[in-house]
Amino acid sequence: MKALVLPASGAPGFAAEVSRLAGTDVQACYACGKCSAGCPVSASMDYQPHQIIRLVQLDQKDEVLSASAFWLCASCVTCSVRCPREVKLAQVMDALREISRRSGVAAGQPRIAAFYGSFLDLVRSGGRLHELGMTAMYKLRSRDLFGDIDLGVKLMLRGKLKLIPGRIKGRHHVAGIFRRVREHEAGEGGKR
């Protein structure tokens, strides 16, 4: 866990951008730390959840986006439920991952970013997730080639990994959704 040193300046507008995308007001946080106390993965985070919120409040975009904390967030939503100030922290963590991806900065947890990317690529091409295909793509991207091979064999033997991806008729519609969302994001990026 890092000590939080309050800086002099930041990236003006970052806190507002995060609040808008997350649909919650990060400035409402008074840093009680209840989110961090109940977070199941906080022990593995560099900054604690309430520290991430404080950095966001202070527009510390670079420091926040280089952190691993929001990538490790397991989206369990315990923090949001317990926050006495009704800050939706889980949605803030989502917003930070989205801003990180769209800014093109290196992810603080490259494997997790590779997992999400592999998952979505498979959905874009087939309309549904093909678990085996997703796992193969993830392993190539993350270079985690040999982890869980034994587990994969066990699942295969139990018929739990479909070999052939099932493709739905609407896969072109699903691919179109991806295309339109990405086009919209590219347009927004140009306006910034």
Partner 1 sequence: MRVYSYYPGCSLEGTAKEYDYSLRALAPLLGMQLVEIHDWSCCGSSAAHATSHRLALALAARNLNLAADMPGGARDILVPCAMCYNRLKVTSAELAADSGLRSAVESDLGDKWRGAAITAKALPEVLLGDIGVDAVAQAVVQPLEGLRVASYYGCLLVRPPEYTGFDDPESPKSMDELVRATGATPVDWPHKVECCGGGLSITNRELVAGLVADILGAARDAGADVIVTACPMCQANLDTRQGLAGKTRGTDFGLPVLYITQLLGLACGLSAASLSFQSHLVSVAPLLEKVRQLGRARQAAGGEGC
Rg of the Cα atoms in the chain: 19
Of the two residues 32 and 129, which places its CB atom closer to partner 1 in the complex? 129
Q: Exposed, middle or buried by CB within 10 Å (0-12, 13-18, 19+), for 108?
A: buried
Shortest approach of partner 1 to residue 9 CB, angstroms? 28
Q: Least distance in Å: CB of 11 to partner 1?
A: 21
H helices within the chain, ranges in order?
Answer: 14-22, 34-38, 49-57, 61-65, 69-72, 78-82, 89-103, 110-126, 131-142, 149-157, 171-191
**By C-beta, is 16 or 77 nearer to partner 1?**
77
Q: How far is the CB of 46 from partner 1 (least distance, A)?
A: 14
CB of 56 to partner 1, least distance (A): 17
Residue placing its CB nearer to partner 1 in the complex, 42 or 51 = 42
| Minimum distance from residue 135 beta carbon to partner 1 (Å) | 7
Residue 31 φ/ψ region, left for φ over 0, alpha for ψ in the -120 to 50 degree band, beta for the rest? left
Cβ neighbours for 120, distance < 8 A, ≥ 6 positions apart:
178
Question: In 3D, which of 111, 120, 34, 123 has the Cα closest to residue 79?
Answer: 34
Indicate the residue among 1 and 76 with the shorter CB distance to partner 1: 76
Contact positions vs partner 1 (CB under 8 A): 21, 23, 40-41, 44, 72, 74-78, 80-81, 88, 90, 93-95, 97-98, 101, 109, 111-112, 114-117, 119-120, 123, 127-132, 135, 138, 142, 144, 147-148, 151, 154-155, 158-162, 166, 168-171, 173-174, 176-178, 180-181, 184-185
Q: Which of 84, 170 has the CB closer to partner 1?
A: 170
